[in-house]
Amino acid sequence: MKPRLFTPGPTPVPETIQLMMAKPMIHHRNEDFQEYLSACHGKLKYLFQTSSPVIILTGSGTSGMESLVSSVMGEGEEAVFINGGKFGERWGELLTHYQITHYEITKQWGIPVSSSEIIDLITKNPKISTVFLTHSETSTGTYTDIKSITSDVKAKFPLVKVIVDGITSVGSHELRMDEWNIDAIVTGSQKGLMIPPGLALVAIQNSLIEKIKNQKSKSYYLSLQEAVKAHSGNDTPWTPAVSLIIGLKYALEMIEQEGIENVWKRHQLLGESIRRGVTALGLKLFSTSPSNAVTPVYLPEGVDWKKFNSHLKKNDGITIAGGQGPFTGKIFRLSHLGYYDIFDMVTIMVGIERALKACGYSFKVGSGVAETHNYLMENMEK
Amino acid sequence: MKPRLFTPGPTPVPETIQLMMAKPMIHHRNEDFQEYLSACHGKLKYLFQTSSPVIILTGSGTSGMESLVSSVMGEGEEAVFINGGKFGERWGELLTHYQITHYEITKQWGIPVSSSEIIDLITKNPKISTVFLTHSETSTGTYTDIKSITSDVKAKFPLVKVIVDGITSVGSHELRMDEWNIDAIVTGSQKGLMIPPGLALVAIQNSLIEKIKNQKSKSYYLSLQEAVKAHSGNDTPWTPAVSLIIGLKYALEMIEQEGIENVWKRHQLLGESIRRGVTALGLKLFSTSPSNAVTPVYLPEGVDWKKFNSHLKKNDGITIAGGQGPFTGKIFRLSHLGYYDIFDMVTIMVGIERALKACGYSFKVGSGVAETHNYLMENMEK
């Protein structure tokens, strides 16, 4: 059976990149590797739309988040984070772990935070130096307008830093780090970057780099102080995941060739085509502010998650994601993040229709995929 | 030019494993991945010769070292480490980072520590709960007899824990974790395991697991508490490096097929063949207690490291390692760790002879390789 992956990370790896990563191993302190590393450092700036350094860490996205919490917060500084999903919650867990005084804005899953909520909180707690946001919350498929929030917050509190979890937004949503005045953004390799998991990428504004340099990280392996020092010499503090960095270079080349604006646009159109497709099937979307990376959908009444998922997986070879936390068994999540095109969207819609049918859901076969197909026919140039 | 890698990590990756890692990406919370993970968990016990759990972390070997220092030391406990090379030194840096009171035994690079030095120190400082050792010190190619040390130390101080950096010893030296009563051992994927860098493997005795469970790690991403909890459910706390874990399974199968005793024996013979070969060329070995993973050799008078290395690399496509720390430019290091056989040893000896010749060193061409070849002909079964 042909395997097909529609999860919001890991995402499918282009075959050409899989083979590039199968090149003979090279040593990480030698010129041949340094060329890959230097190419990645350059091309990552384009991805994040920044002129500041982007640090490559060997670890999951969470390791990148920890590198920031453990390295950027100064003595006595306080923070705020948004608890509106599993990954927003993780900022809170990290702040708790490092005993940083912090405030939580709790949002119902699927509803994004607004500027005013953050501004009110900072007004009441002026020791807050840093806002931790989640651009695309993977557990709820919810997009937060970090551009407006950063602009509004900084208009009122120019010294406050904004740090963004861009783990599933980088590559799927417009993101202009310098223009939008964002201080740091973290992503993972197995998301919009289309390579296997194992790397965290952390873009840091030069002003924040200066601050980092003047303090000591609370982490050793994930110290951004060490990473920044090594980065300035085109190196890494510890042995990096060589094969993944080779893959990263080719993935970044693919993104360059398509053009970052086109990559964002493609994700927007593919995401919209899925939202229209599932809506046409009579299903209900979970998020009020949909992410272009992943679409969570309520399971219709009478459709059992395990049976639905098992049909997709065992009958048709398709892997999707289920709900997380309180929504386990209640929603399913379709990913359109990374190496996807029109035909992949058609495929996943047909897969969903086949599984719904097998679970006894009543609908007109073909109505979902036709809507997706039609939307893309009308809106997508090729 | 055909590339040939002789560095003590990364080491060459077998072509079959490179291609296995190029399989289509799979999701880490699905059955197909869980089968790989469960197979690795089982086979890693054989590698470490233990019945206790072996934890897989996504990170470099240093991340595995940090996971131990940040997760196992209890309140008020003190530690000792051996500073006799760059990697022994790292235990000390980690202990300093986590503000754990510790004692250093300084050894001249190339000379291993003895049981009595450690026992004397613990006798004077009875709060020492943990000894951090380095089985094969990669920077100096020096082997430490951890079997005798553990036995001697525990005969006198039965409650003291012994934690071992086995980063370049696992697979290259006899290592029987349970029989030798070692409490924890860490290794990296890019060493004896023959796969790319990006995984740390941490074997932990059940008694130490119980201790870990009752305290809180000072690290978040590298928390062994979280890793142990996930391991018991055949899972990982964070998104793991999926492709590397697929590679790990096939590497462990290769080791099983060869038999771990045969793998140790092969490394011993290959290492000895190189030591005899370079000695026959009139060169001087660096270590008094040679590791079977890597052989550091003094550069003969008049031979410039840069010229020597450049000839190997640019003329012949061979990558070796130089000296580290105070021995930069004074020694070179040849690796025989991982996926190597008789013909690879012959190749590297010929490469060394060619580079020595190009640097004006006077010797009988063929005398080194003949010694290596002859030793292996007489001692290696196939």
Q: How does pLDDT run across A144-163, given as a tens digit for each residue?
A: 999 999 999 999 999 999 99
DSSP state of B74: P
Domains and CATH numbers, chain B: 15-258 (3.40.640.10), 259-379 (3.90.1150.10)
CB contact under 8 A, B58 and A242: no
d(CA A104, CA A88): 10
**Model pLDDT, residue A382:** 64
Q: How confident is the model at residue B187 (pLDDT cuts 50, 70, 90)?
A: very high
The verdict on B146 touching A (C-beta cutoff 8 Å) is no
DSSP state of B313: I
Facing B241 at nearest CB: one of A62, A93, A197? A197
CB contact under 8 A, B220 and A66: yes
**Model pLDDT, residue B382:** 64
Report yes or no: B170 and B203 within 8 Å, Cβ to Cβ.
Answer: no
Helix, strand, or coil (residue B295): strand
Closest CA to B170 of B155, B200, B191, B156: B191
pTM of the model: 0.97
d(CA B62, CA B59): 8
Report yes or no: B379 and B274 within 8 Å, Cβ to Cβ.
Answer: no
Report yes or no: A139 and A10 within 8 Å, Cβ to Cβ.
Answer: no
How far is C-alpha B48 from the geometric centre of its chain's CA atoms?
12
The verdict on A288 touching B (C-beta cutoff 8 Å) is no
Closest CA to A294 of A47, A91, A110, A105: A110
Closest CA to A261 of A47, A66, A20: A47
Burial class for B124, CB neighbours closer than 10 Å (0-12, 13-18, 19+): exposed
Residues of B in contact with A21 (CB under 8 A): 18, 21-22, 243
CB contact under 8 A, A221 and B60: yes
Helix, strand, or coil (residue B208): helix
Q: How does pLDDT run across B261-296, given as a tens digit for each residue?
A: 999 999 999 999 999 999 999 999 999 999 999 999
A–B CB contacts, 8 A cutoff, strictly below: 172
Q: How does pLDDT run across B129-174, given as a tens digit for each residue?
A: 999 999 999 999 999 999 999 999 999 999 999 999 999 999 999 9
Facing A27 at nearest CB: one of B5, B220, B241? B5
Facing A66 at nearest CB: one of B11, B221, B321? B221
pLDDT in tens, chain A (382 residues): 999 999 999 999 999 999 999 999 999 999 999 999 999 999 999 999 999 999 999 999 999 999 999 999 999 999 999 999 999 999 999 999 999 999 999 999 999 999 999 999 999 999 999 999 999 999 999 999 999 999 999 999 999 999 999 999 999 999 999 999 999 999 999 999 999 999 999 999 999 999 999 999 999 999 999 999 999 999 999 999 999 999 999 999 999 999 999 999 999 999 999 999 999 999 999 999 999 999 999 999 999 999 999 999 999 999 999 999 999 999 999 999 999 999 999 999 999 999 999 999 999 999 999 999 999 999 998 6
Report the 3 state secondary structure along chain A.
CCCEECCCCCCCCCHHHHHHCCCCCCCCCCHHHHHHHHHHHHHHHHHHCCCCCEEEEECCHHHHHHHHHHHHCCCCCEEEEEECCHHHHHHHHHHHHCCCCEEEEECCCCCCCCHHHHHHHHHHCCCEEEEEEECEECCCCEECCHHHHHHHHHHHCCCCEEEEECCCCECCECCCCCCCCCCEEEEECCCCCCCCCCEEEEEECHHHHHHHHCCCCCCCCCCHHHHHHHHHCCCCCCCCCHHHHHHHHHHHHHHHHHCHHHHHHHHHHHHHHHHHHHHHCCCCECCCCECCCEEEEECCCCCCHHHHHHHHHHHHCEECEECCHHHCCCEEEEECCCCCCHHHHHHHHHHHHHHHHHCCCCCCCCHHHHHHHHHHHHHCCC
**Model pLDDT, residue B381:** 80
Place of tokens 């994004």: A112
Residues 6+ apart with CB under 8 A from B283: B297, B298, B300
CB contact under 8 A, A22 and B24: no
ipTM over 0.85: yes
CB contact under 8 A, A190 and B239: yes
CB contact under 8 A, A196 and B25: yes
